[in-house]
Structure 1
């Protein structure tokens, strides 16, 4: 008697996991699909800054999995994975349930890495989920309210100083957003916007060092200096302790402190503990401890297991931990799972990097198109948002959000009072943003063609 369970289990609902599930649904995958994720909402990480700043709403960048998976046939299990047994092909969750699989997809992403910095986990804010954005928002508004009640300028300074640790892409995007957002908030409360400070603390000598966006360094640096309050830089500074009211760091051999009531942590990631605990050899891991996968995104020692996104490394092919990579890998994993089920040939995953996008402030971004030229300012902002809107899960959600975004950008934000020149400029810019976004997405490995096949 054959007791084999033909069931695919996906652990992790980030870009790689969610898009694997959605592509399988669109391809009419003949096996049952279970997606296990501890959160009930999908956090569209590249647009969390827009959610935090109020440029986009929760339903646009932090939608519920139930909405995204409605009618897909994918079984959504809201639970935390407790253990993964590759030998027994078994996934256990904290509720006590367990799931056997014929195929497994590892899409657990990474976790925030604090690298042993004293007090960082307890006193610094990360920005990885919608909950994080809400927590930062509430804390900053509380700090601004407290500052309004303090007469002494020096004591008030602490509550008006926000420190961002790390000057990679996330740190630059956060600092740029805060440089516009906080002074506007404070002025609206009746405070002096010029008293607000945004400080970017970085271990390296330069911003965007060893980053996929490093070629945009000068553009980003100039943009950060032109925010409503210019972003301050403290470079070559290694954070050593984060306390409720100060940051301690080492710089040029000297210990220094910065008085601040808010620290936002954007530097570094670590491997998910479940990935660390997988029973695979060191030879089957990269130097960071991530499991290696072959070109078809299968584990070297367990071909029934696929992995994508931040939690795995493709053997002999270094890829940046970005949304566009995870999105394309999700499509490739779905294609190969379907091929396995139908007895067809598997294909190597082809990931095409078609430029980068970097938020530099409210309604200002830089879009690097095809790694050939840059579009900055408000048009760059439209291209960036248009591109990410094309990535939003499910066509229905994509259409709804795109309509809301275009309505907000064209008719609410810019056309009061209405001027003919403004109409031409903003409608043209929005159309350019969406058209370029669609072109970019068409170039991303034809993943949407695979979805509809």
Structure 2
């Protein structure tokens, strides 16, 4: 008779998977933990734009899992998952290895969704991973170098035109980033920076429609026009085909062609293939095909399996696919795994949305704090970076003494949401936006932690 397997396997090293593993280590989880991801490095996706345009370094945005998990006791396996057998409680890898589990955490995230648009997968650039950022960087630099050597105006215009498909947060952040640094790159090569053209192709009439960043739409609209090269927004434009040197789209019932050597695809996501293949009935999935989980983050038919982040949907709850949601779900999954190991009942997850952050160009952003106050420009940029860097589980940004002093001076034991704007502005004037970014980030996380303790 085989002995029972008491180990937890986590599939996927994004925010949900990584933070589940780290919280288990912090909580002295009594069972072994294995984290499986096909990549060597964790990708801090909200800051991938900063890595792409050179604002931040590799170790900040795409650190190695081995470094993040050092000393945690978590076993990291770099491999690709081939199949998941929920009935046999086994995960099989492409390498031929397999792992039995007593508990499984599905944290696979989502994949780029091309929506069956002709040529999109073959000819458009996704922006999802470190490899995507590197590939796009090389392509754009190649286009600029060719353009500066070409006299033919029409050919040069194709090389210098970049089209981003999708007016959601990813598309807006990409357009704003390119609108700032592409002209700088081209001018450095001796080209005329005004020839750069960045086009945002939006299916609807409004950018950020139906997104958590919807409240920042007006700010985003204005900031997109303030870039080094103003962003052109084509509204009501539905992409119908992507070719190597052009994109076709339908507008007002007419199919039009826009010549370009660069199409970047940010038009939504699809359910991960491994999640699609799970033996879960359609009744226990949402309309995107993601499995439904209970408020405790467990699959309906397989309670030993937890799922969070983009690859699952909580019953009767609508949550945005953001880092702050995935981070909180990871922490809760870890707490529930420990509770089960100790013979206790798991507790429902309560996700607290503390505002939104949107990158709007190099050293520029918009922040909606506590849903009552908006910060724009460089202060918002530092708040955004500070918030995300505080989440990153490394000791590289230690402003502890300074931020604790500022915490006392500015927030004085508690935050009044209606006064936070004045406090932040005063803090920026006193000590600089960078430290304030860390301060606000830590205050957000402290409030989040206090809320979790109350549950």
Tell me, yes or no, whether TM beats 0.5.
yes
Give the Cα separation in 2 of the matches to 1:397 and 1:424: 18
Give the Cα separation in 2 of the matches to 1:427 and 1:372: 23
Listed one character per residue, the Cα deviations across residues 151-187 of structure 1 (whole Å, up to 9, x for unaligned) are 1222211101011000000000000000001001111
Give the Cα separation in 1 of the matches to 2:65 and 2:330: 16
Alignment check: 8 A CA contact 2:107 2:311 kept: yes
How many Å apart are 1:2 and its aligned residue? 6.3
3-state DSSP of counterpart to 2:127: coil
1:136 corresponds to:
136
How many Å apart are 1:393 and its aligned residue? 2.3
Paired residue for 1:433, among 433, 437, 452? 437
Instruction: Give matches, 1:188-267, under 5 Å.
Output: 188-267=188-267
Q: Which moved more, 1:106-115 or 1:153-162?
A: 153-162
Give the Cα separation in 2 of the matches to 1:424 and 1:380: 10
How many Å apart are 1:281 and its aligned residue? 1.6
Alignment check: 8 A CA contact 1:8 1:102 kept: yes
Give the Cα separation in 1 of the matches to 2:164 and 2:449: 35
Instruction: Give matches, 1:86-97, under 5 Å.
Output: 86-97=86-97
1:341 corresponds to:
341
Residues 54/369 of structure 1: CA separation in 2 closer, same or farther (3 Å cut): same
CA RMSD of aligned residues (A): 1.9
Alignment check: 8 A CA contact 1:227 1:361 kept: yes
Instruction: Tell whether 2:361 aligns with 1:361.
Output: yes
1:408 corresponds to:
none
Residues 360/426 of structure 1: CA separation in 2 closer, same or farther (3 Å cut): farther
Alignment check: 8 A CA contact 2:41 2:63 kept: yes
Give the Cα separation in 1 of the matches to 2:47 and 2:226: 22
Give the Cα separation in 1 of the matches to 2:245 and 2:285: 40
Give the Cα separation in 1 of the matches to 2:114 and 2:281: 26
1:11 corresponds to:
11
Structure 2 gap ranges (5+): 404-426
Alignment check: 8 A CA contact 1:240 1:248 kept: yes
2:421 corresponds to:
none
Alignment check: 8 A CA contact 2:428 2:436 kept: no
Structure 1 gap ranges (5+): 404-422
1:48 corresponds to:
48
How many Å apart are 1:346 and its aligned residue? 1.5
Alignment check: 8 A CA contact 2:11 2:17 kept: yes
Alignment check: 8 A CA contact 2:238 2:250 kept: yes
2:410 corresponds to:
none
Residues 19/447 of structure 1: CA separation in 2 closer, same or farther (3 Å cut): farther
1:111 corresponds to:
111
3-state DSSP of counterpart to 1:213: helix
Give the Cα separation in 2 of the matches to 1:90 and 1:396: 37
- Corresponding pairs, count: 430
Give the Cα separation in 2 of the matches to 1:377 and 1:120: 34
Give the Cα separation in 2 of the matches to 1:55 and 1:298: 39
Give the Cα separation in 1 of the matches to 2:316 and 2:281: 17
3-state DSSP of counterpart to 1:444: helix
How many Å apart are 1:397 and its aligned residue? 7.3
How many Å apart are 1:282 and its aligned residue? 1.6
Alignment check: 8 A CA contact 1:354 1:443 kept: no
2:318 corresponds to:
318
Give the Cα separation in 1 of the matches to 2:394 and 2:348: 24
Residues 59/258 of structure 1: CA separation in 2 closer, same or farther (3 Å cut): same
3-state DSSP of counterpart to 1:220: helix
Give the Cα separation in 2 of the matches to 1:68 and 1:13: 11
TM-score by length of 1: 0.92
TM-score by length of 2: 0.91
